[in-house]
Structure 1
Amino acid sequence: MPIYVYEVITGDGSSGERFEIEQPMSAAPLTQHPRTGQPVRRVYLPPNLGSKYTPGSTQNKLSNENVEKAGFTRYERDKLTGTYHKVAGKDSAAPDTLKP
């Protein structure tokens, strides 16, 4: 059964306390809080969808091993000198160091 989010409607019409309740999809939306009897409205939230582009998977795809396996070269900047050093890639034509 799905879990729905409701919020209490306060006297001035603003949002109040939020709570979750498990209901069948065929049930009508609640109009009153189950314990207090205060008026409530259902809150529609965006779904939580899994994605192949999560920060963890993106970081894994851009790892030095994957960059090198794809035939690319990766450089990282040295903060002290400002030069770029090769950290991934097997291309012999690519220099080991680049100066800005």
Structure 2
Amino acid sequence: MPLYVYEVITDDDSGEQFEIFQSMAEEPLKQHPETGLPIRRVFQAPNIGGKWSDSAMGKSAADDKKLGRLGFTKYVKSGDGTYEKTVGKGPDTISRDAPVSPGDL
């Protein structure tokens, strides 16, 4: 079940926030479960963990051998507007002064 964040509705924007586990099929709460005050659900970015989390993806993207094996090309900035290939197919360097044409790939 997802964890939802709710906020007490007040005249200013400093209402108490709290979290509740709720089924996705349930309607959003309208009143605080303890005090009965009016509340609203706060929209937040989804939190995805496991092998798709930011930290795991960072480790995966840093592995040049794996990127090459999967068919990706990785370039690393080597100067102002210049990039050098570290893995994959394509030109050894790319530059904003010399755009890559389809024939270079």
TM-score (norm 1): 0.49
More helix by share: 2
Computing the radius of gyration from Cα coordinates, the structure with the larger value is 1
